[in-house]
Amino acid sequence: MGSSLIRHMRSNLIAYLALLLALGGTATAAANLVIPRNSVRSAQVADHSLQRVDFANGTLLQGPRGFRGPAGSRGAKGDPGPAAVSAGTPVLSVITATATMGGLTGTAARAAATCPEGTSVVGGGYLIPPNARPDLDIVVRESRSTPLPGDLPSDPPNSWIVFAYVKNASPIRGVDALPGITIVARCARVELVP
């Protein structure tokens, strides 16, 4: 096999050299004649085809800012907006909603006074009756509006809620341990009066 390869190379050596020179020389000459290294002629560039990214950084310089042009003409008047609705004068009305807590089995209770529909709870509190037994140490742990995060599912929205208990509870007292505490919710409504 070695002798046949040598024989083939001897007979075709000139042909291979001619092919190599023809291909290599033509490609190099074509590249040098059409686009010389690092240069482009304006005849070779289509109008508006070059973008900022086609240039190296710092090649394009920014000129000074031009003068401000004249103001444009005033636009056409727009359509009129919708007619105003005569709503009247806003009047705030405050009503009171109450509920009574007490007479429950045990010594703790949680109850709420709920504002009627169309109103919003804006405040509240509780009243311990003046005739409550003096030996009871009543503690109100919560007195606030609802809803708040962490409310019980049974807590009504738009209400004032109170949670109270008797600190010195005694099993002897039973259902009378917690007196009738009145829960008060202040409910507000804004009405428009013509």
Model pLDDT, residue 124: 92
Q: Which of 134, 130, 161 is nearest to 145 (CA)?
A: 161
Please state the three-class secondary structure of 72-125 as a single string: CCCCCCCCCCCCCCCCCEEEEEEEEEEEEECCCCCCEEEEEEECCCCCEEEEEE
Kindly tell me if the per-residue pLDDT of 167 is higher than 60.
yes
Kindly tell me if the per-residue pLDDT of 172 is higher than 70.
no
Q: Rounded CA gap, 119 and 122, in Å?
A: 9
Kindly tell me if the per-residue pLDDT of 175 is higher than 50.
no
- For CA atoms 56, 58, 59, 63, the dihedral sign is positive
- Per-residue pLDDT tens over the stretch 66-96: 898 898 899 899 888 887 766 677 778 888 8
Indicate yes or no: pTM above 0.75.
no
Q: Which of 96, 124, 103 is nearest to 180 (CA)?
A: 103
Kindly tell me if the per-residue pLDDT of 36 is higher than 70.
no
Beta bridge partners of 186: 96, 123
Kindly tell me if the per-residue pLDDT of 108 is higher than 60.
yes
Beta bridge partners of 192: 90
Kindly tell me if the per-residue pLDDT of 155 is higher than 60.
yes
Higher pLDDT pick, 181 / 31: 181
